[in-house]
Each structure stands twice: as structure tokens, then as C-alpha cells.
Structure 1
Amino acid sequence: MQTAIQLWTLRELREPLSDVLDRISAAGYDGVEFAGIGDPGASRRALDETGLGIAGVHVQLEDLQSDSRTVENQARTLDAPSIVLPSLDDDHFASERAVESTATLLGMLDTEFDRPLLYHNHDHEFVPLGDGTAFDALVDRTTIDFEFDAGWAHAAGQDPAALIRRLDGRVPVVHLKDMTEEGEPTALGDGVVPLQAVVEAAREAGTEWLVFEHDDPEDPVDAIQAGIGGMRPLLE
């Protein structure tokens, strides 16, 4: 598996993208994941200069729906392997009918692009539904792949490693995130998420990118090094 950092982690770092990518490359990551497309040409050049790969790009639903051709062209310029829908509102998972509509929506969006569409979970997809959760129902009703966020799944009371194994072959990207007992993001190794089990399950499930993300780091510069420092021993 290759290592990356989700650039949302560094959103408070007020530096040019090229400088941010230099920091990431120097820390030893294999790549990055973009939180929004921005200027795809400039981003692609900056990636080429640092030698970093790209794990994917997050694009909001309204952009996917309103201008899919532009999004596709931008993703092609960026050479992103996938387009990731980072979230859907709680209403999309409130009932069997809602999940059915959500599955239809994701299936339709997936056909709009020349590369895979992934869905990134938070915790609200794991509300009880039938004999399982809304997330279980979504998996059963779709054929799309997922960007599985292990931290948010654990915060919702789920076993992230078991869910990754269930998604075998459908989870090219895993967000490696640690959480406190109270369900707040924290540094890798300081929380209660079974990180080693998550990494082993991801490897078995064919995951290509392991992406570090911290939703609210105290210091984004320190988070860069702390992320890769926490990932390396898990991959040995």
C-alpha cells in the first residue's frame, strides 16, 4: 500500500501548494489526496516537481451534479485515479427508501465519469436500519467502491477492520484516522481505533492507498510528520 495525506488536514497551513507538497515529500509520503480540485494544471505541475502521487480528489455533490464534464476534465488533468464524494447529508440514510434513492444517485453519478466514483463515510451512515445499518444497506444496493474512513466508523460503534474485510475488492482507499473515546479526532496512536487491525484488513482487501487524515490538528506542520511517523510502523 502507498501512503498519502489528505490535504484537508493542512487547510490552515497558509503556504503555496508547492511548498506544502515539498513538506509532504520530505516527510516521506508517497502521495496526497486533494480536498477539492482547485487549479488542476498547477496542482499537476506541483505534483510532478515533487514526485508525489495522487490518491484521489474530493468533489462536492453540487459540483458533481451541476458540471460533470468540467469535473471530469479537471480530474483528467490532475490525473486523479478516482473522484471521491466526501459526504452526503443525514437525510440520505434515514430510511430504507432514502438509502435506495442514495444508491440510485451514486450509481448514476458513477456512470458520468471516466474514472471510479468513491463514497467517503463519516459516522452518520451507521444509523440502525433493518438488521444492520444504513451503511450496510448502501453497500448491498450499490456496486461502487468506497473510501473507507476507519476513524469515523469506529466512532459510530463499528468494527472498522471487519467492515473493510466486507468491502474486499471495493475499498481502494482507506482513511487512517484515530479517535478518542469521545469520538474526537486525535493523533495516530493516541486514540482507541485498532489501527494495526485496520491496516492488516486493508492489505487483505486490496487497498491501494492508506491516507492519513486528522480533521482538526493543533499544528498542521507537526501533523505531517506525526502522520507518517504513525503509519510507518503499522506497515512494517
Structure 2
Amino acid sequence: MVESAIQLYTLRNADVPFGELLERVADAGFDGVEFAYRVTDENPDAVRETLEEIGLAVAGAHVPIESFEEEFDDTVAFYETLGCDEIVVPWLDQEWFASREGLGSGIERLEALEDRLADRGITLHYHNHDHEYVALDEGNAEDNEEGIGDNEGGAGKEPHTGFHAFVERSEVDLELDLGFVLKAGDDPVELLRAVDGRCRLAHVKDVDIDSGELVPVGTGDLDLAGCADAFRDCGGEWLIYEWEGDDPLASLEDAAATMDELV
């Protein structure tokens, strides 16, 4: 069953106590939350108690990879206390996707963390932006695979990119950001179907293709219904709303209603 959540980065600047913020999310009608940043300033026991009281589930958390590489046990313990068993690395710099060597090293880095988290019962995901869609320099490699996103008609519409190669050559689960996929010139519906089974979390973000600007969900060019159908068909679990515009609290109920229609 697909459920709706909100990425709390959306509400990062809301000037209300964290507990009240969670209550507003629940009152708006979301099923769950995905944490980012601000939660690390809170008492995890108190946050979990609030979540249980108001009936919000934890869809996952965005955590910089460096937090695990520098303080693995403490970082894992914090999110375990929250009841979070889905961890998302939200960003790797473009350099990790621009060359064959960088891509290989980036995949090794993620898969090493994936193995350590799996030992604790936690699943790792990678969340894309559009900078991963850089042209991939394969050097002198002779095994430039065709597949997702190549010129012969994979999921993407651009030449083979670092992100498509990452999808092909790694086994890390994905949290596709559908708006950034579209912004990069790829087809979100086709990509969801191509990665069948690897994308249980997805960000619902919208973009105006002509301007290249991110816009409120439902006002841009993202095929919301098509994405929702593909996500459901491929075993997706959480569609996660995100909006980086002004005054997101004012549109919280409308956002929850939009997401409710998709799930």
C-alpha cells in the first residue's frame, strides 16, 4: 500500500516548536514524515513519543553520508530511537558521477555503508538531484554498457549519464526525486518502471519545463497520475511531498489533499 509523507525540509523555516510542527502535519492529513536536519536538535525519545501520540509514521530520514562515516554508532542509535529504519543519503557531489573512476568509488562508498546499516536492520537509499545527470567520462573503457538512459532508448532521453550508469552498476536502493528527474530531461514514469523494486520511496516535486524552475506540486509538468501509477505498480511504499517555496505551512492542507489523491 502506498502512503503519503512530507519531507520536513519543506518546513525547515517554520517558526514553530518541532512538536507542534509534527502535529500540524498530522492534522493536515499526511500519513508520515521524512526527517531532515532540524530533528537532530531534538530529543529523539520525545519526538518518537509525539509521533506515536498523533499517529504519524516515519517514512525515512535524510542523513549526510559523512555523519555515518564519522560517528556511525551514535548516528545509528539516534535514528533507531526515532523508529527510523529507512536512511537516505541526500547528496553526493557531481564529481562522483562525472567519471568512471569517480562513479566506481562513489558506489563503493555507498555500498560499504549499505552493508553496515543492513547489519542493524536499516535500508539505505540514494536521493538524486539533477547534477548527477552529468555526461559520464568513461575514459578508455571498452565496456560502456547500454541500458537505462542510453541513446538507444532506455528510460532517459539524454545521452548516457553518470546517474544512469549509477543505476545500472550499483544495487543501492533509490529515492527518486521525480521533479529533479524531469528537470534533468529524463522521463520519471519510464525511470520508475525501469528500476522496478528499487524505489520504495519517491519525492513528489514539480517543475516547469520551459523555465526550469521548481513550482508547487500540481502546477508544473510532472505527470502526477502517471508517476503514482508506476510507483504503485513497482512496489512503492511512500510518496513524499516536498516544496521549497515560501510559506509552506499555508499550503499544508492543500498539499496533503493533493497527495491523498495520488495514494
Shorter-chain TM-score range: over 0.9
Q: Secondary structure at the match of 1:118?
A: strand
1:192 corresponds in structure 2 to 221
Mind listing any 5+ residue stretches in structure 2 that lack a counterpart? 137-143, 145-149, 151-159
Q: Are the equivalent residues in 2 in contact too, given 1:178–1:185 (CA < 8 A)?
A: yes
Q: CA RMSD in A?
A: 1.3
What does 1:161-200 correspond to in 2, within 5 Å?
Answer: 161-181=189-209, 182-200=211-229
1:232 corresponds in structure 2 to 260
1:24 corresponds in structure 2 to 25
CA distance in 1, matches of 2:251, 2:107: 35
Q: Secondary structure at the match of 1:57?
A: strand
What does 1:25-40 correspond to in 2, within 5 Å?
Answer: 25-36=26-37, 37-38=39-40, 39=42, 40=44
CA distance in 2, matches of 1:192, 1:2: 22
TM-superposition CA deviations, 1:71-97 (whole Å, max 9, x none) = 111111111121110111111111111
Q: Are the equivalent residues in 2 in contact too, given 1:188–1:226 (CA < 8 A)?
A: no
Give 1:233 deviation, angstroms: 2.5
* AA of the residue aligned to 1:124: H
Q: Match for 1:123 among 123, 130, 133?
A: 130
2:154 corresponds in structure 1 to none
Give 1:49 deviation, angstroms: 1.6
2:6 corresponds in structure 1 to 5
Q: Does 1:203 align with 2:210?
A: no
Q: Secondary structure at the match of 2:129?
A: coil
Q: Match for 1:72 among 73, 76, 86?
A: 76
Give 1:141 deviation, angstroms: 1.7
Report the structure number with the largest CA radius of gyration.
Answer: 2
TM-superposition CA deviations, 1:99-137 (whole Å, max 9, x none) = 111111110011121201110000011123354221111
Q: Are the equivalent residues in 2 in contact too, given 1:180–1:192 (CA < 8 A)?
A: yes
CA distance in 1, matches of 2:104, 2:214: 30
Aligned length: 234
Give 1:58 deviation, angstroms: 0.8
CA distance in 2, matches of 1:54, 1:9: 16
- Bigger drift between 136-145 and 168-177 goes to 136-145
1:95 corresponds in structure 2 to 99
2:64 corresponds in structure 1 to 60
Q: Match for 1:86 among 87, 90, 101?
A: 90
Give 1:21 deviation, angstroms: 1.1
Q: Secondary structure at the match of 2:236?
A: coil
> Scaled by the length of structure 1, what TM-score is found?
0.95
What does 1:212-231 correspond to in 2, within 5 Å?
Answer: 212-215=241-244, 217-231=245-259
> Scaled by the length of structure 2, what TM-score is found?
0.85
Q: Are the equivalent residues in 2 in contact too, given 1:92–1:98 (CA < 8 A)?
A: yes
Give 1:62 deviation, angstroms: 1.6
Runs of 4+ in 1 over 6 A off after TM superposition: none
Give 1:188 deviation, angstroms: 1.4
2:157 corresponds in structure 1 to none
Q: Are the equivalent residues in 2 in contact too, given 1:187–1:226 (CA < 8 A)?
A: no
* AA of the residue aligned to 1:193: L
CA distance in 2, matches of 1:63, 1:2: 28
- Bigger drift between 144-153 and 31-40 goes to 31-40
Give 1:226 deviation, angstroms: 2.5
Task: Give me the identity figure in percent.
Answer: 39
CA distance in 2, matches of 1:232, 1:97: 43
